[in-house]
Structure 1
Amino acid sequence: MRREHGTPRSGWEKTIEGQGLAYHRAAHPEGLSRPYWDESVHYVFSMAEVEALEEQVEELHDMCLRAVEHVISARRFADFAIPEWAWDEVARSWERRDSHLYARFDLRYDGTGPARLLEYNADTPTSLVESSVVQWFWLQDAYPGDDQWNSLHERLIDRWRELRLPPGPTHFAFTNMDETGEEAMTVAYLQETAEQAGLRTISIAMEDIGWDALNRRFADLNEQVIRSVFKLYPWEWMLADQFGRHAVRHGTWIEPLWKTLLSNKALLAILWELYPGHPSLLPAYLDGPRELTSYIAKPLLGREGASMRIVTPEGTQETPGEYGKEGYVFQGFEALPVFEGQRPVLGAWMVADEAAGLGIRETTGFITDDTSSFVPHRIAE
């Protein structure tokens, strides 16, 4: 693993916008000199490194599924701040093995040892367009003789064909709260992969999904029955909404309800309980830092690095945010590796239960947030 420099393609901004990354300007805070998509640098891996990472993330995914089984059988839903009325519905979703589509591991990796799990984004992962499409076309233009850890597009199409969905079109829901367009473009891309798989699809705003109380079913603005929905609206928000009690019992949702256990950072503590000392895990606890002298307190439902606190013998750092009322997990802190002053986080993608690709975001700080840039990668021949 190494970081290399290159010359950005002429007109790269229009190129990536035409490939779906239309939000690359809006998604990045103003006043930053570095663009969100930065192809002036990239990371290079050997095939052996990628194969080892694939094996590690598939093992991590299997461990996570076993953790879900443990949480449900031990009725540990309170550790995840899930409202009690939804506990049985989460369990039923798992017992039915409701179909799932994709997810992203965030990993610490420096090229010299096993990857370490930072968190699992298994309900509403983004940076998909960058990982699946934009960096693939960058590779074809800049390094056409090299390879890339990236089978996302093909695997997504195959997975849509495998899903057991009810008859009728599948609705793809975005939210009107999306200010940058990132969610809308992610949903649109996944809708495109579903259509390439042969599914009939309809686009809809989450806010326009209606509840037909008489017939006890969801419907769209044309009064068409909604039987299956892909959404990037988090399950914890749905469970807090008025219609959440209907959502857990009616319709097929992707991602499914049981994934609310994988997208919650309490998972990190459960994994450490079940697999203490595992080389791909960092120590993590729900009841406090215990023996840890360096740790990071993460809100169970936090997003984009908000409301986090890093505690080390040298001092404390905090990020702003409004998360944390639901509780925290305390994870051993191991600083991200440094490559030329930048700290990469590897986003390793899963489609269904198989490793499918890699996206990398860089930061100069310890926590990846909305100021972090996406950089492509390649596998050198």
Structure 2
Amino acid sequence: MRREHGDPRPGWEKTIEGQGLAYHRAAHPEGLSRPYWDESVHYVLSLEEVESLEEQVEELHAMCLHAVEHVVSTGRYADFAVPEWARDEVARSWERRDPHLYGRFDLRYDGTGPARLLEYNADTPTSLLESSVIQWFWLQDTHPGDDQWNSIHERLIERWRELRLPPGPTHFAFTNADETGEEAMTVAYLQETAEQAGRTTVAVAMEDIGWDDLNRRFVDAGNQMIRSAFKLYPWEWMLADDFGRHAVRHSTWIEPLWKTLLSNKALLAVLWELYPGHPNLLPAYLDGPRELTSYIAKPLLGREGASMRIVTPEGTQETPGRYGREGYVFQGFEALPAFEGQRPVLGAWMVADEAAGLGIRETTGLITDDTSSFVPHRIAG
């Protein structure tokens, strides 16, 4: 694994905007010295590295499913801050094996040893369009003889064909609170993959979904019944909403309710309990850092690197945020590897239960947040 430089394509901004990355300016804080999509650099991996990473993330995914089974069978919902009234419904969702679509592992990897799991974004992962479409066209334009770890688009279409959903259209729900357009475009892209798979779809804002109390069903703004819906809207927000008690019992949601356990960072501690010393895991605990002298405290339901605290013998570093009332997990801290002063996080994509591709974000800091840039990759031919 190495970092290389190259000249950006002339007019690259219009190119990526035409391919759907219309939010690349709005999604990045102002005043930064580099763009969100940065094709002046890229990472090069060997085929052997990619094949090894594929095996590792599929093993991690299988371990995560085992962890869900463990939580459900032992009733450890309090560790995940799941409301008491929703716990039986989480169990039923898992026991039914409600259908799931995709997820993204965030990994520490430097090319010299096993990848280390940082977290699993299994409910509402973004940076999908960049990973699936934008970097693929970059590869075709700049390195047409090389390959890329990227079968995301094809796998998504195949997965939509496999899913057994209720009859009628599938609704695709975004939130009007999305100020950058990133979530709306991610939902629109997934809606397009479903349509390519032959499904009938309807776009809807989460704020426009209503509850028909008389007929006991969810409806859209046109009063059409919602039988199945993809939502880029976290389950913890749904459970905190007034209609949450209906949501857990009515309609088929993608991602399913059982994924609220995978998208919660308490998962990291449960994995360490079930697989202590596993080479792809970092030590993690729910009751404090224990023997760890270097650790990072992560809020169970935090997002975008907010409300985190890194503690090392050299000092403490914190990020601002409003998360943490739900509790923290304490994970062993290993600084992200540095490549020319930049620190990459590998986002390994799962579609259904198979590894499907890679997206890389990098920043100069120790925590990857909304100031990071997305950079493409290739497999050397």
- SS state at 1:139 partner: helix
5+ residue gaps, structure 1? none
Distance 2:103 2:233 in 1: 14
Aligned residue for 1:225, secondary structure, equals: coil
Other-structure match for 2:111: 111
Counterpart of 2:227 in structure 1 is 227
Q: Percent same amino acid among aligned pairs?
A: 88
List aligned pairs for 1:250-261, cutoff 5 A: 250-261=250-261
Q: What is residue 46 of structure 1 aligned with on the other side? A: 46
Letter in 2 for 1:3: R
SS of equivalent residue, structure 2 residue 207 = helix
Matched to 1:222, the amino acid is G
How far is 1:288 from its partner?
0.1
Runs of 4+ in 1 over 3 A off after TM superposition: none
Q: How does 1:226-245 map to 2 (within 5 A)?
A: 226-245=226-245
Partner of 1:65: 65
Residue type matched to 1:327 in 2? G
Which residue of structure 2 aligns with residue 209 of structure 1? 209
Q: For residue 226 of structure 1, give the secondary structure of its aligned residue in structure 2.
A: coil
Letter in 1 for 2:41: V
Summarize the alignment of residues 95-134 of structure 1 with structure 2, pairs less than 5 Å apart.
95-134=95-134
Q: Distance in 1 between matches of 2:14 and 2:243?
A: 40
User: How far apart, CA to CA, are the structure 2 residues paired with 1:366 and 1:231?
Assistant: 31
**Residue identity opposite 1:255 in structure 2:** E
Q: CA RMSD in A?
A: 0.2
**May I ask how many residue pairs the two structures share in their alignment?**
381
Counterpart of 1:95, as a letter, is E
Distance 1:250 1:100 in 2: 16
Supply the distance in 2 between the matched residues of 1:263 and 1:20 (Cα, whole angstroms). Answer: 26
In the alignment, residue 331 of structure 2 is paired with which amino acid? Q
SS in 1 for 2:348: strand
The CA deviation at 1:356 is: 0.1
Aligned-partner Cα distance in 1 for 2:327–2:235 = 17
Q: Deviations over 1:331-366 (max 9, x none)?
A: 000000000000000000000000000000001010
Classify the secondary structure of the residue corresponding to 1:268.
Answer: helix
Q: Hey, what's the Cα distance between the residues in 2 that align with 1:109 and 1:352?
A: 23
The amino acid across from 1:310 in the alignment is I
Residue identity opposite 2:241 in structure 1: D
The equivalent of 1:280 in structure 2 is 280
- Aligned position for 2:336: 336
Q: Give a deviation string over 1:279-332, Cα, whole Å, max 9, x none.
A: 000000000000000000000000000000000000000000000000000000
- Which residue identity is paired with 1:258? W
In 2, Cα distance between equivalents of 1:366 and 1:66: 30
Letter in 2 for 1:171: H
Alignment correspondent of 1:24? 24
Separation of aligned partners in 2, 1:220 and 1:275? 44
Q: 1:140 is matched by which residue type in structure 2?
A: Q
1:292 aligns with 2:304: no
SS at match of 1:100: coil
Q: What is the SS of the residue equivalent to 1:358?
A: strand
Q: How many angstroms does 1:222 deviate by?
A: 1.0
Query: Which residue of 2 is the match for residue 76 of structure 1?
Result: 76
For the residues of structure 1 that align with 2:369 and 2:82, how far apart are their CA atoms? Answer: 25
Cα separation, 1, equivalents of 2:222 and 2:147 = 46
The alignment status of 1:197 with 2:197, answered yes or no, reads yes
Q: Normalising to structure 2: TM-score of the pair?
A: 1.00
Q: Equivalent residue for 1:308?
A: 308
2:333 and 2:237 mapped to 1: Cα distance?
Answer: 28
Alignment-mate amino acid for residue 272 of structure 2: W
* 1:339 partner SS: coil
Alpha-carbon separation, structure 1, partners of 2:46 and 2:32: 32
Q: Distance in 1 between matches of 2:212 and 2:53?
A: 47
